A = this chain, B = another copy of it.
Amino acid sequence: MNSKAQPRVVIVGAGFGGLNAALTLAKAPVRVTLMDRKNHHTFQPLLYQVATAGLSPGEIAAPIRAIVGKRKNIEVLMAEVTGFDLEHRVVQSVELSVSYDYLIVAAGARHSYFGHPEWEPYAPGLKTIEDATEIRRRILLAFELAEKQAAAGRGQEPLNFIVVGGGPTGVELAGTLAEISRHALKHEFRSIDPSRAHILLLEGGPRILPAYPEDLSRSAQKQLEHLGVEVRTSSLVTKLEPGAVDINSQRINASVVLWAAGVAASPLGKQLGVQVDRAGRVPVQPDLSLPGHPDVFVIGDLAALNDEHGDMLPGVAPVAIQQGEFAAKLIREEVSAQARAQSYSRPAFHYWDKGSLATIGRNAGVAQFGKWHVSGYLAWLMWLFVHIFFLIGFENRVLVFIQWAWSYITYERGARLITGSTELPGWSGLRHEPPIEAEERAASEIHAVTRKIG
């Protein structure tokens, strides 16, 4: 078959779903165009480690081109897709349009603020490398500003870290924040005690980790409390503004608010001409194709599909990976059958649930494998090895493992960089007061201040 005549598969999004679809099509008799608005694939399960300064962005993100490498039938374009012309089979982006024979839409999800997009500047969510470095900046800056305020003789500003949302991301963030404030920063401040930071995890429903069995939710809450996190369930955020959160209409001061409460599918779903569900997901056929468009597949967090029990498949990496591989194999076999003028009957997608793992913090986690429930150190260890093992790139795996081992032994967090702005929204400390003079520093220091040398 002439390569020019090979069908073109366009994949939108290089997350777990899109990337695995592309790699599965390597060496297939198709040309693949993989489009993403970023130049890198992000290993999202470890994003919370970047947000909490344990890992560097480069350790959990790899250039899409480097992953694809020498697979000559895959072309990578860094482009932001804006829409589709399904009739003429064209994907539109800001700068160019690309024609397809098959289309796989794997545009993922972003966080959602339940109809309050104005909350985003005060409570960043965690989906991209930029999100993670912004959260890291805010967490570290809160400690720096508190130290500066205390050093100026104005006492310790109460440090309140509020994590909204008791799913896996919220639990990871809260648990790691506790570890940082109790251990990593222990010896490094002179005027404040970082371990006095208050870490509050809010969950709107009756229990955290609602996708897990009840006994594991209870265990996770106990493990979090043991790490020093206050967990409040049935707690809804009713208002959010700089420096404060209203929980069930009760106001709480907040130094930093992190958002892990809701996700909404990519707005690209609405461009596909079908009715999306409340979370913006696109209902798909059992073969993952778009109703009425057998040449278009929707996979991963953007797709709405029930499993055989009638439950919606969760928005997790294993679902996206399996769907990406499924759609790619289907296309490969359909193209081969057509080349031989044979008929091809499409199979239905079935999700193979290998189990669920959530980490909570140092030595703490929960895991479910069918009826087998695991808590604590063993679950944490399993989580650790699974995630390092699946991290893309051999070099990254080695480096991340060394980083982790080092952090574990020393409690050190190696990637504690504040970059960008030095402003913190709603910081109620020094910013709006005039600078104080030396004489106003704590009375005990006045002697040193006025003393003359030599």
Contact = CB atoms under 8 A, between A and B. Distances in A.
Interface of A: 4-8, 31, 33, 37-40, 55-59, 61-63, 65-66, 68-70, 72, 75-80, 88, 90, 92-99, 101-102, 129-130, 133, 140-141, 144, 147-149, 151-152, 185, 187-191, 294-295, 334-335, 338, 393, 395-396, 398-399, 402-403, 406, 410, 412, 414-420, 422, 430-431, 435-438, 441, 444-445, 447-449, 451-454
Copy number in this complex? 2
Given A39-B140, A55-B58, 8 more contacts: A39-B417, A58-B417, A66-B412, A66-B416, A80-B422, A93-B435, A96-B435, A129-B419
Contact of A4 (B102, B140, B190, B447): B447
A396 to B, nearest CB: 7
A420 to B, nearest CB: 7
A454 B97 CA distance: 23
A156 to B, nearest CB: 15
B438 A97 contact: yes
A90 B438 contact: yes
A151 B436 contact: no
A124 to B, nearest CB: 15
Contacts of A151: 33, 75, 77, 96
Given A419-B133, A430-B96, A435-B97, A334 B454 contact: yes
A94 B435 contact: yes
A448 B416 contact: no
B63 A102 contact: no
A78 B40 contact: no
Contacts of A454: 294-295, 334, 338
Contacts of A144: 39, 78
